[in-house]
A and B are shown apart, each in its own frame.
Chain A
Amino acid sequence: MTLSAANAGAFNALFSPSAIAVVGASATSVSGGNRFIRHLKAFGYGGSIFPIHPSANEIEGMPAFPSVSATPALIDYAYVAVAAQQIPALLRSFAGRVRIAQVMSSGFSESSGGHELERELVHAAQEAKVRVIGPNCLGVYSPRARVTFTERTTDEPGSVGVVCQSGGLGVDIIRRGQNLGLRFSGLVTVGNCADVRPHELLEYFLESSETKVIGLYLEGAGDGRHLFEALRAAKGKKPVVILKGGRTGQGRRAAASHTGALAGSDNGWKALAAQTGAVLVDELDAFLDALLAFQCLQPRSTAARRAVLFGNGGGASVLGTDALARANFDVAPFEPGVAAKLQALKLPAGSSVLNPIDLPAGALQQDEGKAAETIFDAISDDGGTDVLVMHVNMTVVLSFRHVDMLGNLMNAVLRVKARNRSGMHVVLVLRSDGDPDIEGPKREYRDRAVAAGLPVFDELSTAANALACVRHFEIFRERIAQTGPI
């Protein structure tokens, strides 16, 4: 399965529309359509906006049109938020005038008695030859095109493409994600997926040159087979992270065999992850962390295994070692050559240069944290390390106010990353106590690090889990490289 030319055209219109029609904006009050127009204006959308209204001449200070056939330009994307009953007739009126429509309205298959209306919607869309996203969703976010369906979204474009079956969770993904440093090539909420199915958008993001990693939030049943086939055909072309709601539901009829009784809905998703290299996560934070790891890190051709932990705080190092080991990384002592090199550095007293490397803040501050770079260079030159995790207890490090120890550590790790030829993954864990005077600098350091391609996590365990997601993908690519086409 690959992206058809028709779908490519429709989805390009969705993510970079030149002309948008808004059906369902009010001339007298503030409805979803009005808010969308306001968001577009505030976000600096540069294309044409055509409010559609049966009687009004003006909406949100813009000329309104009675139908899409009256607009001076063809419509790339129609935002539709009118009563469910009106939708089929409206879609028929889009024939030849609209490339893709997104129906926000609810009252379809998600509510009792709405199935028939949803079938009518699909039928009308097919008749009019208009692809339809939704119904029962919130909109699309495309920072490159300055299109957004919600407020306070960053206009900085990025490489993460997301298909989200829940509107509200879509807002969470953008807002919480952007605060972690995620930057999106696009996010589309897809609701009931009556016409356009998630795998079609997946195929679009797989082809899109702006998209490096793809996230899918899915719920309900029905599209597993299509996703499996699309992912299988992609052969690990791009990392895909899947958050699937409702995996704990058994949802199976009385089974007549042992196998039938053992097969819950979760088995299929786990199998899909094993067979396609897609990463399956259980909750929203893990989803965002995995996307961040893939946004920043370049998957290795041989799966990452050997990890070095560097930071201040003995307890954190011990727990971090456990977390990495649980995620199947090897936190082993250095080879004699590297060990001797590190010993020869004559690091400040109190340091331990075994792996994990524990440099107490007191020891670090003696040369303002610059020892870190020397250590990182020795590790990087050796080439035996696949993952370098630097963790910083910010409370302690920032208490040394006379030196910019954290700044030096950051510079060191960024320089190592920039010079790094062995493809070593470098990640940063900024551990905060939650005080506002720590959270402020943490935010600044986080932004700086992520902008430089260094993923930042709040804890060692979350870093370990995100790295395990990257490794799952690497193992899959390694496997298909060995066994040939699957």
Chain B
Amino acid sequence: MSAELKAAVRIARTSGASALDEPAGKKLLASYGIRVPASHVAKSAAEIPSALSTLKPPYVLKVVSPEVIHKSDFGAVKVGLKSLAEVERALAEIEATLDAKGIGERSWLIEEMASPGLEVVVGGVVDPEFGPMIMTGLGGVFVEVMKDVSFRICPITRSDAAEMLSELRGAPLLQGARGRAPISTDALIDILVKMGGEKGLLTESADEIVEIDINPIIVTAEGATAVDARFILQHSVEG
């Protein structure tokens, strides 16, 4: 298990959390060589200006709070923010929502917004029978409505990863169906192997982390960026 993984799990457990918060999750992904957006964590609104000084617009603003599980349900994610003023306005709106719901504990993740591309989901689960398994599917309705996903038992090889993608019903979209540009399947295969391969995050973390959603990963012709990630710790889904 990597040092980053151990540290992230320890911090989350110490605070009594059942999941890694998003900045910790992304740091973990980055430590396994998975690209995440350039970002900064701000403790309060006052830190936003200095956070923005190192980032390029447009920005994404997200709240980080153990009390907020599904950020989009709270309107707690704001995208496409072009300036400090827009970020500050968005932050005020989210604060109002959180205050109304009585959610106190919070900090802010401010990120560079990934350029548009195809949305892909990569997930992991520790199966009671097979141990760590990796999943992938195309984002949105493909995964959520059509359940068009493919699973493999870890550890996987590159050829397993390529096969996972090719067996999706939506696979033609990866090749640029319906007038889209083809995306880099190599970048996606890289992520699958970095997650589910011999020394992958999922394979190495199975004792500590039982479920992972990286949703979405935005894939373009140039590469793939993990835009959101959730890591559920071992004991939190037991019993």
Contact = CB atoms under 8 A, between A and B. Distances in A.
A483 B159 contact: yes
A482 to B, nearest CB: 8
Contact of B125 (A223, A224, A254, A263): A263
Contacts of B160: 274-275, 486
A272 B153 CA distance: 7
Contacts of B123: 257-260, 262
Given A271-B152, A272-B153, A275-B153, A256 B237 contact: yes
A267 B151 contact: yes
A259 B211 contact: yes
A93 B125 CA distance: 45
7 contacts: A223-B129, A224-B130, A256-B18, A258-B121, A258-B143, A260-B211, A274-B152
Given A252-B128, A256-B211, A258-B213, 9 more contacts: A221-B128, A254-B237, A255-B237, A256-B210, A259-B213, A267-B127, A268-B127, A275-B156, A486-B157
A265 interface: yes
A252 B130 CA distance: 13
Which of B125, B157, B210, B211 counts the most chain A CB atoms within 10 A?
B125
Interface string B210-235: 11110100000000000000101000
A268 B152 CA distance: 7
Nearest to A270: B151
B69 to A, nearest CB: 9
A448 to B, nearest CB: 40
B93 interface: no
B118 interface: no
B144 A258 contact: yes
Interface string A201-228: 0000000000000000000011111001
A479 interface: yes
Interface of B: 18-19, 121, 123-125, 127-131, 133, 135, 143-144, 147, 149-153, 156-160, 163, 167, 210-213, 215, 230, 232, 236-238
Contacts of B147: 262
Contacts of A223: 129
A169 B175 CA distance: 46
Contacts of B211: 255-257, 259-260
Contact of A222 (B18, B129, B167): B129
Interface in A230-262: 251-260, 262
Interface of A: 221-225, 228, 251-260, 262-263, 265, 267-268, 270-272, 274-275, 479, 483, 486
Contact of A268 (B143, B151, B213, B237): B151
B236 to A, nearest CB: 7
Contact of A257 (B125, B128, B150, B158): B125
A483 B157 contact: yes
Contacts of A253: 237-238
A17 to B, nearest CB: 33
A256 B124 contact: no
B54 to A, nearest CB: 31
Given A254-B237, A258-B143, A486-B159, A225 B121 contact: no
Contact of A225 (B130, B135, B150): B130
Nearest to B231: A257
B31 to A, nearest CB: 21
Nearest to A265: B129
A257 B149 CA distance: 14
Which of A254, A258, A265 counts the most chain B CB atoms within 10 A?
A258
B133 A268 contact: yes
Contacts of B210: 256, 260
A15 B186 CA distance: 49
A256 B236 contact: yes
Contacts of B236: 256
Contacts of A257: 123, 125, 211-213, 230, 232
Contacts of A268: 127, 129-130, 133, 151, 153
A263 B135 contact: yes
Nearest to B155: A232
A224 B129 CA distance: 5
Closest 8 CB pairs of A and B: A259-B123, A224-B129, A267-B151, A257-B211, A268-B130, A260-B211, A224-B130, A257-B213
B153 A228 contact: yes
B144 A259 contact: no
Nearest to B233: A256
A268 B159 CA distance: 18
Contacts of B158: 483
Contact of B130 (A251, A271, A483): A271
B151 A263 contact: yes
Given A225-B130, A257-B213, A274 B163 contact: yes
Contact of A259 (B19, B157, B167, B212): B212
A262 B212 CA distance: 12
B135 A259 contact: yes
A483 B161 CA distance: 13
A225 B129 contact: yes
A251 B130 CA distance: 13
A257 B215 CA distance: 10
A277 B105 CA distance: 51
B237 A260 contact: yes
A254 B238 CA distance: 9
Nearest to B137: A262
B112 to A, nearest CB: 25
A443 B128 CA distance: 46
A483 B128 CA distance: 30
B125 A259 contact: yes
Nearest to A259: B123
A402 to B, nearest CB: 54
Which of A262, A268, A271 counts the most chain B CB atoms within 10 A?
A271
Contacts of B143: 258, 262
A254 B143 CA distance: 18
B159 A225 contact: no
Contacts of A260: 123, 125, 210-211, 232, 237
A310 to B, nearest CB: 32
Nearest to B132: A225
B207 to A, nearest CB: 14
Contacts of B149: 262
